[in-house]
Amino acid sequence: MKIALVTDAWHPQVNGVVRTLDTVVGVLRKRGHEILVISPDQFRSVPAPSYPEIRLSYARARTIGRRIEAFGADAVHLATEGPLCIQARRWCRRKGRSFTTAYHTQFPEYLAKRTKLSPRIFWPYIRWFHRKSETIMVSTESVRNQLRSESLSHVHHWSRGVDLQNFCPDVLPPAEYDHLARPIQLYVGRVAVEKNIEAFLDSDHPGSKVVVGDGPALGGLKVRYPRVHFAGRQTGPALAGYYAGADVFIFPSKTDTFGLVIIEALACGTPVAAYPVTGPVDILTPESGAMYDDLDIAIQRALRLDPADCIALGEQYSWHASADQFFDGLVSQERRLDCHMSRRILAKAIFARV
């Protein structure tokens, strides 16, 4: 199958959306599918306001459309709600081409954090962008229910995965852990305002706090929290070591739809402390994580959990299953279109006989 993937989030960006798309594309290519990725690095771009690490690219709808046509795509997937996908959507609508979309990020809440405006202001745009797609791919039941409440009911389940060969409890922890007071409390992810990291750094639970990741808020947080250990960006076995050697993983975000870092921590045997919000409530069990409106209480409870239960839950997530779900969403779309065409052909035949 030839799949055209249009996305405003791609390398060199480092985030859960990019990791999800990159990994699923890799799995599908190994299975023999052809994937055309149309991404910001292929066009001129400008830094996003208040977030210069993210580049916003613009291309004309017909420019994107020509690439899709030349590729001979069987399916078109629009991964994000940014400029490239807007233009791809425009071309698909003009040409009568079907397309699928995905809701990766709590976009209204994300924009609200950066603009200080109400999230409700941005929901009309979300409804407009996704309403004409054949399928909206979502990662959790909470997101499914949220979109349904916004009159977006054509949803398809697409979960996430974890590389179990890399993220496991046997990885060696970083050397700096030897000099840190226990319990070691870890955050991994983008260091940005929408991640609510300050809620973790302001918590009062004794021990050491470690932040792994990079982002626009990093410099300011280093100044405000000099006692916190900022390890910068980590990948591969080094990142897995930070998870495996920590006593508890903290997920303070209230704007994520899933949280890849949660299942990576679990696979390494590290219990999770989080708020009871979308993402954690869809993943965590009482045996693998603690969710509470008071983060200190969540941390205290998570530290009592058995790592074996965390590992058992983390091992339930695989990228091969995630790729299956993504592909099923595309195939389901094609089946619906085939059925629609069959009904039209049948109706014409009946009408001709009459």
CATH of the domain at 9: 3.40.50.2000
Fill in the DSSP letter of residue 272: E
Domain count, the chain: 2
Same domain, yes or no: 220 and 335? no
246, 184 contact by CB (below 8 A): yes
What is the model's pLDDT at position 114? 83
92 Cβ contact list (under 8 Å, min separation 6): 65, 76, 98, 99
pLDDT of residue 344: 52
- Among 307, 303, 266, smallest CA distance to 284 is for 266
Instruction: Tell me, yes or no, whether 202 and 267 share the same domain.
Output: yes
Instruction: Give me the sign of the Cα torsion angle 194, 195, 198, 204.
Output: positive
Give me the helix-helix angle, 260-267 and 307-314, nearest 10°.
130
One digit per residue, the tens of pLDDT, for the chain of length 354 reads: 999 999 999 999 889 999 999 999 999 999 999 999 999 999 998 887 766 777 889 999 999 999 999 999 999 999 999 999 999 999 999 999 999 999 998 889 888 888 889 999 999 999 999 999 999 999 999 999 999 999 999 999 999 999 999 999 999 999 999 999 999 999 999 999 999 999 999 999 999 999 999 999 999 999 999 999 999 999 999 999 999 999 999 999 999 999 999 999 999 999 999 999 999 999 999 999 999 999 999 999 999 999 999 999 999 999 999 999 999 999 765 555 554 444 454 445 444 554
Coil, helix or strand at residue 214? coil
> What's the distance, CA 329 to chain centroid?
17
Q: Which domain, by its residues, includes 200? A: 175-314
* Residue 354 forms part of a structural domain: no
Does 12 map to a domain? Answer: yes
SS3 141: helix
In this structure, are residues 59 and 43 in contact, taking their beta carbons and an 8 Å threshold?
Answer: yes
105 shares a domain with 21: yes
Task: Tell whether 216 and 113 lie within a shared domain.
Answer: no
Same domain, 300 and 341: no
pLDDT at position 354 is: 44
- Same domain? For 200 and 345 the reply is no
Q: What would you report as the CA-atom Rg of the chain, rounded to the nearest whole angstrom? A: 22
How many residues in the chain?
Answer: 354
Tell me: do 143 and 194 sit in the same domain. Answer: no
| pLDDT for position 346 | 41
Whether 267 contacts 211, CB under 8 Å: no
What residues does 138 pair with on adjacent strands? Answer: 157
pLDDT in tens, 88-145: 999 999 999 999 999 998 889 888 888 889 999 999 999 999 999 999 999 999 999 9
